[in-house]
Structure 1
Amino acid sequence: MTGRRWRTARTIGLVILLIVAVSTLGAYLTAPRQGGLLQADSTAPDGAHALLTLLRDQGIDVVVADDIDDVAAAARPDTLITVAQTFFLLDGTVLDRLAALPGDRLLIAPSGVTRERLAPGVDLDGTVQFGGRPDCDLREAVTAGDVQLGFSDTFARADDGAATRCYGGALLRYQDGVHTVTLVGSGAFMTNAGLLGQGSAALAMNLSGTHQRVIWYAPQRIEGETTGATSLVDLIPPQVGWAVLQIGVAVLLVAWWRARRLGPLVAERLPVVVRASETVEGRARLYRSRRARDRAATALRTAALSRLRPRLGLGLRSSPAAIIDAVAGRLGTDAHVLWHTLFGPSPSTDEQLLALARQLDDIERQVAQS
């Protein structure tokens, strides 16, 4: 009897252990893989894993390049080099190597220096709500049809050369010698979450799948020459140490001074715990019930400006004109569009309020990545 019970307990233990092992393995394999914007293997909302999987399912050879050496090794005249996350491309040597490689190019939301090196003769032409009808004869755009893709930069040829502009200039293609260069002002529609938008998946597939071999180059760190002997501590001026020491002493003195004025701490249980998300939702419902779109827009703009000022190196008393100039200089965006978004009139409909929130979020994201 004892032996039978032992065998039964051992069997149950092995089954439980097997279930735990299978569950752990399944959770590991299906867990989302976090990563940067448009990173090839990232399954996060802003990753590009879904798009690259769709391209491979169509029989396209997708080569993921982690650095410029991988791009150079895989580049051929019949390839399409897709360049994303261009804010990390700061070194002139890296950009010159990219410009000299064979194959066509697809530049996703290129920064100023990347656009000058890889798409010479193309200038920023402003910003547009990326979406609607393509209004061009480019096959990739005509096939995708109407799209709703959000806020985007627009491009134009500086020398009035031949070029095809779609979606108000948010998509531009022209011939640069033997290279066909395509620029798109926003890469949001290519992300895992963005593919769900109207026409997004079709346009992303059409632009990325024009060749049987695609090199996906989305660097997640700064490319270029670095010196291994230099560390972050070496870049800090020597006066900073004394300043930090003085601030630390001042903080300790203030803490000691305030502690002498306070009595002993008394623990007290709160009658109710309210989550921050519930507070925000409750306030939003009050605004909506009173149709206070002006107050909601003011709250959104005030919060966005409070986060933008430190990133732009501006103080609390900075004038609206100074803020507009700083943002326009950082992003290359038309000042009138920025003024309308950051300091313009209050929206009159819920749709306009939602569009304003998205535009403010897009400006914050671009400033943070610039």
Structure 2
Amino acid sequence: MNNPTGTTGTTGTADTTGTSGARAANPADAGLAAAPVTGSTSVSPTTASLWRGGRGVILVALIVVAAAVAGVLLGGAGGPDRRLDPDDTSLSGAGALARLLEGRGVRITRVTSAADARAAATAGSTLLVTDDFPLTAADASRLAGAPADLLLVGAGRRLRTLAPGLLATGEARPRSREPRCALPAAAAAGTAHLGGTTFAVPRGGTGCYPAGDDSTLVAYRDGDRTVTAVGDGDFMTNLRLAEDGDAALAMNLAGARPTLVWLVPPPPGEAPAASGEQGLYDLVPPGVRWAAAQLALAVVLLALWRGRRLGPVVAERLPVVVRAAETAEGRARLYRARRARDRAAAALREGFADRVVPRLGLPSAAGPDARVSALAERTGQPAPQVASALYGPPPADDAGLVALAAYLDILERQVRDS
């Protein structure tokens, strides 16, 4: 390659090549490395950062505490649920109804297990089963064979087993309803507070206190016994017994026979007596199920908290600030040590094109012919010489590389000054 300037030497090879090569190859890196440090960045935690880091833990703790408080409140401060219990005088109990029945001469047998209920439910008695009792499949099968009349309060967990001819169809809002039927127990009582589960009237049965097309009280014959089902037992409680004809209806249904076998849930902590084969779920205490549900909720919330998206990128100070000149010189020495004149020349030409082509008014995709013609016209240099400098073969030695760098500098100054 011709040496346009005639400059030779080895001392300036690394400096000239390094400076021009670094400026041409990676000016952004050089500018970044040369940026001065204007101040220090504090790494001490701030109030905002502490809140962002701890708000998830606080939220999970508050939810767990709220769930525990709700469990205590809904559980009646840890007391047993004695709804429709003949020995309970609270608003949800049925102590008042039991005293009225005893005053009429009805003998009440209170039992807490299906086995005892089956033994006491003989012919000529009434067996009262509420939906609060945790019946197993074996319990329901045993009670279904009892000869006593059956009074079901609520839909019940084993309705299909206890009363095969009865079908629950839906729910109705509890309110005062007219009987609208010929059943003596309902017709004599009149208006009563009923609702809850609704039933389809079986063939040969009687439906009372209608809710839409279905009834909230149904009575029918099942062999030698009478099966009566009511959708909700609120009318029997101490709270509702004095309203409308609730007391009359409750006494007519529960006091139809001289003996009433009243099945109630066992006290908390006492498992119901086994009356047959039980499943694993039947053996789990209710408190354990509630604790498992709380634990599952806590695990889900913890997973959502820990699985949140990453925060913003944190700016970090560089451990060492290297001057741009040192970086350029180090790269030039690497090129020289490896005799990578081809890479050094390519870097010089690429950097020259990136800086000069926009000044010529050419697009970045302009071809070699357009670039050479524009440069020759702007600088007055011979087109063959410009083409050789931009697209010729790599220099054969260090002197040729220095000459190429010098010639490209001349072209750039001419373009910039024109």
TM-score when normalising by structure 1? 0.50
- The yes-or-no answer on 1:93 pairing with 2:93 is no
Give the match's secondary structure for 2:247. helix
Do the aligned residues in 1 keep the contact of 2:194 with 2:209 (CA within 8 Å)? no
Do the aligned residues in 2 keep the contact of 1:35 with 1:41 (CA within 8 Å)? no
Give the match's secondary structure for 2:265. coil
Query: What is aligned with 1:135?
Result: 180
How far did 1:51 drift? 0.6
How far did 1:178 drift? 1.2
The CA deviation string for residues 32-52 of structure 1, in whole angstroms up to 9 with x for no partner, is: x97521112111100011111
Q: Which of 159, 162, 170 is the matching residue for 1:118?
A: 162
Q: What 5-or-longer segments of structure 2 have no aligned partner? A: 1-78, 307-418
Do the aligned residues in 1 keep the contact of 2:194 with 2:231 (CA within 8 Å)? no
Distance change (3 Å), C-alpha of 1:178 and 1:45? same
Bigger relative contact order, structure 1 or 2, given CA contacts below 8 A and separation 6+? 2
Q: Aligned partners of 1:127, 1:196: CA distance in 2, in Å?
A: 24
How far did 1:171 drift? 0.6
Q: Aligned partners of 1:234, 1:218: CA distance in 2, in Å?
A: 21
Q: Which runs of 4+ in 1 moved over 2 A?
A: 125-132, 220-237
Query: What is aligned with 1:185?
Result: 231
Higher helix share: 1
The CA deviation string for residues 222-253 of structure 1, in whole angstroms up to 9 with x for no partner, is: 7454789988889999xx89x97x96xx99xx
Give the match's secondary structure for 1:167. strand
- The yes-or-no answer on 1:166 pairing with 2:211 is no
Distance change (3 Å), C-alpha of 1:105 and 1:150? closer
Q: Which has the larger radius of gyration?
A: 2
The CA deviation string for residues 186-240 of structure 1, in whole angstroms up to 9 with x for no partner, is: 1000011110211111111111000001101122467454789988889999xx8
Query: What is aligned with 2:85?
Result: 39
Query: What is aligned with 1:23?
Result: none
1:193-204 aligned at under 5 Å gives the runs 193-204=239-250
TM-score when normalising by structure 2? 0.45
Distance change (3 Å), C-alpha of 1:234 and 1:55? closer
- The yes-or-no answer on 1:155 pairing with 2:199 is yes
Distance change (3 Å), C-alpha of 1:37 and 1:177? same
Give the match's secondary structure for 1:170. strand
- The yes-or-no answer on 1:77 pairing with 2:119 is no
Code of the residue aligned with 2:149 in structure 1: it is D
Give the match's secondary structure for 1:83. strand
Code of the residue aligned with 1:107 in structure 2: it is L
Q: Aligned partners of 2:117, 2:171: CA distance in 1, in Å?
A: 31
Code of the residue aligned with 2:141 in structure 1: it is D
1:282-321 aligned at under 5 Å gives the runs none
Give the match's secondary structure for 1:194. coil
1:304-343 aligned at under 5 Å gives the runs none
Distance change (3 Å), C-alpha of 1:66 and 1:133? same
Q: How many residues align?
A: 209
Distance change (3 Å), C-alpha of 1:235 and 1:55? closer
Distance change (3 Å), C-alpha of 1:218 and 1:85? farther
Distance change (3 Å), C-alpha of 1:233 and 1:59? closer
Distance change (3 Å), C-alpha of 1:134 and 1:235? closer
Do the aligned residues in 2 keep the contact of 1:35 with 1:42 (CA within 8 Å)? no
Q: Which of 257, 275, 282 is the matching residue for 1:211?
A: 257
The CA deviation string for residues 321-360 of structure 1, in whole angstroms up to 9 with x for no partner, is: xxxxxxxxxxxxxxxxxxxxxxxxxxxxxxxxxxxxxxxx
Code of the residue aligned with 1:135 in structure 2: it is R
Code of the residue aligned with 2:220 in structure 1: it is Y
